Amino acid sequence: MGCDWSGSLPSDQNTWRHWCTALLSTIHALFSRSQIVHYHALGPALFSFLPRLVGKKTVVTVQGLDWQRKKWGWAASTVLRLGEQAAVRLPSSTVVVSHTLQEYYRRQILEWGLEPGNYILFPGSRRKRIAIC
For 9-31, write each residue's pLDDT tens digit. 344 456 677 778 889 999 999 99
pTM of the full structure: 0.72
pLDDT digits (tens, 9 = 90+) for 39-60: 998 889 999 999 999 999 999 9
Q: Which of 24, 21, 43, 25 lies closest to 34 in space, CA to CA?
A: 25
CA-CA distance, 105 to 59, in Å (whole number)? 16
Please count the other Cβ atoms lying within 10 Å of the Cβ belonging to residue 105: 21
Buried b (16+ CB within 10 A) or exposed e, 53-92: eeebebebbbeeebbeeeebeeebeebbeebbebbbebbe
**What residues have CB less than 8 Å from 8, skipping those under 6 apart?**
none
Q: What is the mean pLDDT of the chain?
A: 78
